[in-house]
Amino acid sequence: MSKAERTKQFIVEKTAPIFNKKGYAGTSLNDMMDATGLTKGSIYGNFVNKDDVALAAFDFNLKKVNTIISQEIAASSSFREKLMAYTKVYENYFGFPFPDGGCPVLNTAVEADDTHPELKKRAAEAIISWKDMVSSLIRKGIDSKEFRSDTDPEQIALTMIATIEGAIMITKLTGRLNYRASIMKSVEKLINDLS
């Protein structure tokens, strides 16, 4: 890695938590300078503008989440267990190295849906990718006779994602962790009912 690449990576690592907590509109140049200890010229010498930093920060935060999920799925043997990896991670996300501020997809989707087309596009792509991953696991479970053949993989995947993201939003909004645990039981039931 060159010095410029290391500096760029440093900026992303230091600003990603701020963008995830405060959002695009709430994150100022001063926030970025305080987090990195760099000047405006140093930051914008490595990135075109604030948008460029925000997009890199979103990608960084999303990669952290995807790595956690991928590791848990890889450690599971059955397709039911692989789907349950989502409930394990999201029910206990304080036990995992989640990005500061929680789920970057939810945070970005809420803020950027009308204000930042490129961030909205990234969040939408993340949801579609997640849906495709879950649908694929369900299809493989059907093919291996682990799940019922009349299962609609896309419907189940979308329901799982909507329920998980809803649980995160409700828990974050109310501060009641028991709500997340209760909602995750519904996701577990959805998965168990596939057999």
pLDDT of residue 76: 97
Task: Tally the domains of the chain.
Answer: 1
Instruction: Tell me, yes or no, whether 7 lies in a domain.
Output: no
Cβ count within 10 A of residue 177: 11
In a domain, 66, yes or no: yes
Could you list the residue range(s) of the whole structural domain that residue 161 is in? Answer: 58-192
Query: What one-character DSSP code corresponds to residue 106?
Result: H
Question: Residue 77 maps to which CATH number?
Answer: 1.10.357.10
Mean pLDDT by 10 residues, the chain (195 residues): 94 98 95 97 95 97 97 97 96 89 92 87 97 98 98 98 95 93 96 97
Domain membership of residue 88 (yes or no) is: yes
Domain for residue 19, yes or no? Answer: no
